[in-house]
Amino acid sequence: MKAVYIGAGVDLIPFIVYDSIKTFIYVDSQPISEFGMVGWCEKEMYRHSFLNSLDKVMSQNKLSNDMVNDINYLEYRTEDDRCIKYFVNTPFPEKVDMTLYDEISSSDTLIICGYHPPSSIIKMMPLLKNIICDNHTVYAYDDDDDDNVINYLYKTTNHYNYHLMKETTCYEYWKNENIQPSIKGNYKIEEYSTIKELYQSKL
């Protein structure tokens, strides 16, 4: 399994919970902008703390930074060779290059937590089988957004396996210091056949 996470920020929860997945492709427009192409290259949009926060969360989860000479790409590995390939400063889909496209197109799992990427992500993933979701994101159909991956999933006739990461005990998941290997035991995985079933289970 190989997973793609658009708008990943410093969220390592899927990496921790799904330890059977060896390679994760993380994509985010930060630190240049937190909002994709909005405010691109404007000084006030730059997120100065992002890279430090990212390194800290990676370190506390025993991921070391493989030094790569590219300001838009970071690579982190564990001792057992699990890997996060992180494409930073990369709004999706505007800044997708062939290297990132090849990584996405060879992945079979999509993580949709928090941010809903454009539906073009599905078209880039011919091998897609699994979709990982969490219990803090709304997966409702949006009448005001035609180019929304969730809307696409409501309409598609393709079958995917939907996995809901559900906390057994509430905790302050948004605090970086809480993102530790030990949180794996605080999650159970529920499986659904459609995005609609998954959304209704959360109501």
* CA–CA separation, 105 and 118 (whole Å): 15
Q: Which residues are paired to 192 by β-bridges?
A: 162
Q: Which residues are paired to 5 by β-bridges?
A: 26, 111
Q: State percent of the chain over pLDDT 70.
A: 100
Cis, bond preceding 14 (omega within 30 deg of 0): no
Q: How many Cα atoms occupy the beta-carbon half-sphere of 177 within 13 Å?
A: 0
Give the pLDDT confidence of 81-128 residue by residue, as tens digits.
999 999 999 999 999 999 999 999 999 999 999 999 999 999 999 999
Task: Place 37 in a pLDDT band, splitting at 50, 70 and 90.
Answer: confident
Task: Place 144 in a pLDDT band, splitting at 50, 70 and 90.
Answer: confident
Contact 27, 4 (CB under 8 A): yes
* CA–CA separation, 111 and 25 (whole Å): 10
Provide mean pLDDT across the span 41-60: 93
H or E element in which residue 111 lies: strand 109-112
Contact 103, 121 (CB under 8 A): no
**Mean pLDDT lowest for which of 27-41, 92-106, 154-168?**
27-41
Provide mean pLDDT across the span 178-195: 96
Provide mean pLDDT across the span 43-71: 92
pLDDT given for residue 140 in this prediction: 95
Minimal CA–CA distance to 31: which of 21, 22, 23, 42? 42
pLDDT given for residue 30 in this prediction: 96
**pTM of the predicted structure, to 2 decimals:** 0.96
Task: Place 47 in a pLDDT band, splitting at 50, 70 and 90.
Answer: very high
Provide mean pLDDT across the span 155-181: 95
- How many structural domains is the chain composed of? 1
In this predicted structure, the answer to whether residue 203 has a pLDDT above a threshold of 80 is no
Which bin fits 44, alpha (ψ -120 to 50), beta or left (φ > 0)? alpha
Q: What single-letter DSSP state applies at residue 69?
A: S
Give the pLDDT confidence of 4-31 residue by residue, as tens digits.
999 999 999 999 999 999 999 999 999 9
> What residues make up the domain containing 140?
2-201
Backbone angles phi, psi at 151, to 5 degrees: -60, -45
Q: What angle do CA 7, 123, 131 make, to 5 degrees?
A: 55
Q: What is the mean pLDDT of the chain?
A: 95
